[in-house]
Chains A and B, each alone.
Chain A
């Protein structure tokens, strides 16, 4: 079973920041949080990952709470092309990723 909980769907206006939450209350100390997204019919695309510090790259920012029980993925200026299913994943058992159902993000003009 996935170790994360995400909302089923979210809407965001084009050009605004999209904030996608994820709960991972049972995360252990050495487990990373990964975010992937899947645009219709394509393979999952890696976005960002982190352990306990906030992270930023060219695609997004990842904010992890101090107790590490939750995190938020931020797409600073969402575009229509960001419409996708977003997966928050905590690595389990070595290198295996367990995908949950994810959040359907709909960016609307």
Chain B
């Protein structure tokens, strides 16, 4: 059972380069999220999506763009990478259930270094 899969697992970029991180989930979840985690800190929400074709900003959205063209995929883009975006990026998905507040399920992360 795959759950939430993130690709790539590691990447090194030069300042100014662009790239896209892919998150795929096979649980038919409506909600998806992108977080970043920096050393010694908890996760911070970048962007999220409550359904196919919809996205919204989280706590730290600057420098990132996202797209949710298909329900199972949530893409995170860096148009012009900066050293401050060196981080570990986690994707999560969540079932939409009105009454039970289902938990978020996380992938194993993408470790991104910007030189």
Contact = CB atoms under 8 A, between A and B. Distances in A.
A44 interface: yes
B104 A97 contact: yes
Interface residues of A, number: 22
Interface string B11-55: 000000000000000000001010100001111110010100000
A49 B43 contact: no
Contacts of B61: none
Interface string A23-53: 0000000001010100001111110010100
B90 A91 contact: no
Interface in A79-105: 87, 91, 95-102
Contacts of A51: 101
A91 B106 contact: no
Contacts of A49: 101, 103
Secondary structure type dominating chain B contacts:
strand
B68 interface: no
Nearest to B43: A99
Contacts of B103: 34, 36, 46, 49
A101 B109 contact: no
Interface of B: 4, 31, 33, 35, 40-45, 48, 50, 58-59, 88, 90, 92, 94, 101, 103-109
Interface of A: 2, 32, 34, 36, 41-46, 49, 51, 87, 91, 95-102
